Structure 1
Amino acid sequence: MKLIESLEEIADENLAVTIGNFDGVHIGHQYVLKAIKEKISDDTKLVVISFTPHPSIVLSPRKDFLINEAKDKYELLENAETDYYYEIPFTRDLSTLTGNEFLTKYLSSKSHKIRFFLGYDFSFGANKKDGVNSIEKFCKERNYSFEVLDKKSVKELSVSSSKIRNLIKEGDVKQANRLLGRDFYLSGTIVKGEGRGKQIGFPTANMQYSNLQITPSKGVYYSSVLYKNGMYKSITNIGVKPTFESDAEITVETYILDFDKDIYGETFKLYFHSKLRDEKRFDSVNDLIEQISRDVASRRKCD
């Protein structure tokens, strides 16, 4: 997949174009991309148009929101066999454009034969006032092909990025993974913590990652760590370490099974499989150690 900033960068004549935020590249997105691929000929290239940053972050600044950061979305779209990724910088100025102004500025091309594919409920433009009718009119004026993907087929998937975000925030990563078609993950850098895990026999990797990316609810999770092409079983605690502190910031700490490498300053991906239990305060450190031992033994039995 090639990253582009204009359709004019594409030498291929025949293009299939779709547009959306594609946060998470979930099974609904995957369905759309697969459906397009099945409808086009081998000499037609698939172009996915999306925005960075996510429009919601620009129009209503927030943290703890994205299912995936931009670099991960790029990787996921590439895995979905997208040929070109047309990334448009999203700004407040862009948000004030009418649908026709946006289409004319970014999607007009005299050197390509374009087929537009959209979901039945697609909307865009200032205050989302424009929808598929605006694009259909735009396409007819330029002799572009235009197709709205089947409503029934899309609805049957019953999936959206918003629904997945809610599931992750609730800690139901198992159901979120079903809708993603893969395991939800965080990408980040390992930083030094307070060393309490090491003191009690369970050294943890403390992850620092973008505050724009969504964090599962507090609790203990079955997880896996991808580090330098190796996948390792792990247990991850998200929370405030209530046995030791009463007013701490939420941290993401992972005990990696059968792993003794020094990885401070390095990066890895942390995959979440399911929630094991809620975070709790133990009466003693020994009680905490016994519970962690049970958690680790339980993780060993899981694939």
Structure 2
Amino acid sequence: MKSTQTSDLIKEKAKSLGLSDCAIVPVSFLAEEKEHFESWLSAQMHGEMGYMARNTEKRLNPQLLVENAKSIIVVLQNYFPKETQSDKEAPVLSKYAYGTDYHFVLKDKLRRLLEFIHTEITSCTGRPFVDSAPVLERAWARKAGLGWIGKNSNLISLHHGSFFFIGELIVNIELPYDNPKPVSDHCGRCTKCIDACPTKAIVANRVVDARKCISYQTIEVKGELDESLKGQFDNRVFGCDICQDVCPWNLKSEPHNEASFNPHPKLLQLNKDDWENMERPLFNELFKNSAVKRAGFNGLKRNLKFLGNA
């Protein structure tokens, strides 16, 4: 089988699984990311996310993470919704949390892709990653030519904007590799994301101080939220899309076709009072398999209280 055929087969399978994009690159040491990442950690910008400071060498070198790692297949999965919350006064839920937790959805697709490669192309072993292990996913997506890192530190695609998840499949075989040219920075002089961030969490180009980030505060913080940020959350109750919503490249965003990401029928119709008076049974019904479970019912109520809505 010719190498181009192998690559085409893998990408066709990825497309059939509903993935937005796919690229294949060899495993290597991320030397260009080392200084940037270590500088971010030394400035304590990771806050309570202690896991970010662990296994730093594995983050930079996947060969330490997966035995005999040879190739990385990087995929994108669109999650931009067809519609958003109807009540403009209601607390705002990040779009990525509307449906089933993306960790489950995307990891299942990567497992199916691995099984396809193993059974239809050549025997191999591998491991899927979806924001769940020390992998610098945006760095690999950039290296694979799938986009550039914007001022808000998100990967931005010329074709898809930034409302997508990134996943990786690391395998122990050499594959026909793409030879991508780095996508140049297309942000130019635009500072819309920096200007729009209510807490001023984007402290430099491609540098986000997580401690000021609304997503970090409403999802990662386990105790009380930072009182110095009170009144600055712009009604965000779980996660935050502000820097993406204002990005001109997201004018290209098209609704996803992944049924698992569709919200519970009641979710987008909740009004302000519904959120304020939400009880545990409704929470469990709406967010049974959702990423919102990461904060839990008590975390959501804490966030609502911080917003002054409960």
Q: Which has the higher helix share?
A: 2
Q: Which has the higher strand share?
A: 1
- TM-score, scaled relative to structure 1: 0.27
- TM-score, scaled relative to structure 2: 0.27
- Structure of larger gyration radius: 1
